[in-house]
């Protein structure tokens, strides 16, 4: 009887694993089939106004990059505070819980929030609003990654640092952060990969435009939002372009994820 249950469990779990992988494979295959048709060098060198996606890639990376540029230092410092300075206080627990809740906040809610506090006063969608929305998405991920990775550093290492006459901030800066470096780096790459593919927070914050744009005070090109827009167009050429853009975005996100794993494997 025990053997039968064991076999059944193995069978069911393998089946479910295959099922999960099957859908992932299906998505990828569909993307490649539908997306590769319009995929050529031309779309990487022209803006959407000329049926290319250059401005979209640019826009997406500027938005996500700036969000990361601001969010990563803030998040790492907050994570250090939680783990090293406020570890047992109620205040720290409160922030940690809040950050966890924010991580699971629906992204459309974040978009709406930024719409209310930035887009409305501006009067139109703009790049800064997009950056702000992605920043709000990214921050809790960075906080929680840093917090987790620092908690994995053994206390003995901190004590050993203090025992040879390092002050608290020396221990954190020279020893704890170094020991957690690989984990934190990986977390940062994955956090970036996560926000670079976001649509909902950008939908009515940055908006999207068919032109190249460098001024963040204006409506800013966004790949994800444009994919959404293009996919609903009646023109078949544009739908095909949306598929190509989706494929490019998927490849970018997958490469970032692989990079994250690669960093872990090589440094440990």
Neighbours of 144 (CB within 10 A): 21
For position 159 contacting other proteins by CB under 8 A, the verdict is yes
Burial (CB count within 10 angstroms: exposed 0-12, middle 13-18, buried 19+), residue 166: middle
Q: From start to end of the chain, where are the E strands?
A: none
User: Do residues 208 and 46 lie in contact, with contact meaning Cβ atoms separated by under 8 Å?
Assistant: no
Smallest distance, other proteins to C-beta of residue 84, A:
10
- What do you get for the CA distance between the two ends of the chain, in Å? 43
DSSP tag of 82? I
Q: Does the footprint of other proteins cover residue 160 (CB under 8 A)?
A: yes
H or E segment to which residue 23 belongs:
helix 2-36
- Sole binder of other proteins in the list 28, 54, 92, 162 (CB under 8 A): 162
By the rule CB under 8 A, 101 interacts with other proteins: no
By CB under 8 A, which span of 50-58, 163-171, 189-197, 243-251 interacts with other proteins?
A: 163-171
Residue 265 contacts other proteins per CB under 8 A: no
Under a CB-based contact definition with an 8 Å cutoff, are residues 193 and 260 in contact? yes
Nearer to other proteins, 131 or 172 (CB): 172
Site pattern 136..155 for other proteins (x: CB under 8 A): ------------------x-
Nearer to other proteins, 121 or 165 (CB): 165
Rounded CA separation 13/193 (Å): 29
Toward other proteins, which CB reaches closer, 136 or 150? 150
φ and ψ at residue 214, rounded to 5 degrees: -120, -10
Is 30 an interacting residue with respect to other proteins (CB under 8 A)? Answer: no
Residue of the chain from 164, 232, 234, 266 that contacts other proteins (CB under 8 A):
164
Non-local (6+) Cβ contacts of 46 within 8 A are: 52, 54
Give CA 179 to chain center in angstroms: 24
Which lies closer to other proteins via its Cβ, residue 181 or residue 237?
181
Site for other proteins in 168-207 (CB under 8 A): 168, 170, 174-175, 178-179, 181
Chain contacts with other proteins (rule: CB under 8 A): 154, 156-168, 170, 174-175, 178-179, 181
């Amino acid at each position: 009887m025990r053997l039968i249950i064991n076999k059944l469990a193995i069978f069911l779990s393998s089946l479910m694993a295959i099922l999960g992988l099957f859908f992932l494979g299906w998505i990828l295959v569909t993307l490649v089939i539908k997306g590769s048709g319009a995929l050529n060098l031309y779309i990487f060198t022209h803006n959407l106004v000329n049926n290319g996606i250059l401005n979209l890639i640019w826009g997406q990376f500027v938005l996500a990059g700036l969000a990361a540029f601001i969010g990563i230092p803030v998040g790492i410092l907050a994570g250090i505070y939680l783990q090293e300075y406020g570890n047992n206080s109620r205040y720290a627990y409160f922030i940690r819980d809040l950050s966890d809740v924010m991580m699971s906040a629906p992204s459309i809610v974040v978009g709406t929030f930024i719409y209310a506090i930035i887009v409305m006063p501006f009067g139109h969608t703009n790049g800064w609003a997009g950056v702000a929305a992605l920043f709000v998405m990214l921050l809790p991920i960075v906080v929680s990654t840093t917090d987790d990775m620092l908690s994995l550093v053994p206390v003995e290492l901190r004590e050993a640092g203090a025992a040879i006459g390092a002050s608290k901030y020396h221990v954190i800066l020279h020893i704890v952060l170094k020991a957690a470096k690989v984990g934190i780096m990986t977390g940062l790459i994955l956090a970036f990969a996560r926000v670079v593919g976001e649509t909902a927070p950008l939908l009515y914050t940055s908006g999207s435009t068919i032109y190249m744009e460098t001024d963040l005070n204006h409506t800013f090109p966004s790949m994800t939002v444009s994919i959404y827009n293009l996919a609903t167009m009646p023109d078949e050429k544009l739908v095909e372009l949306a598929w190509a853009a989706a494929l490019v975005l998927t490849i970018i996100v997958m490469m970032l994820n692989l990079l994250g794993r690669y960093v872990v494997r090589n440094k440990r």
